[in-house]
Amino acid sequence: MRHFLLVAGLGFCIVSSASADDIAVSEQTFGCILDWPQVRNTRIKHSDPEQLKEAMRIFRDSLPDREYPVGTILQLFLSRPW
């Protein structure tokens, strides 16, 4: 059976006080998504290891009313049968 991955969402979770000057994004920011840590069906990326741990905790524990650290990237994948 063939499968494909449907990219359901990609975005920066940025607090309202952050500006575009606070974040530098390039091709190197992303690298190989398979190298990103995964929580359920979502890959999470942050360049700072401590901020990554916090972002993973917020996502894993479904913490309400919490903002992800500035610069956090969440990539949701849905696997569907072809």
Provide the pLDDT for residue 10. 42
**Domain residue ranges of the chain, discontinuous segments joined by +:** 3-18+31-81
Give dist(CA 79, CA 65) in Å, integer: 28
pLDDT in tens, 7-60: 444 444 434 455 556 777 788 888 888 999 999 999 999 999 999 999 999 999
Write the CA distances from 45 to 1, 2, 24, 36, 37, integer angstroms: 30, 28, 14, 6, 7
Is the pTM higher than 0.85?
Answer: no
Give dist(CA 30, CA 43) in Å, integer: 11
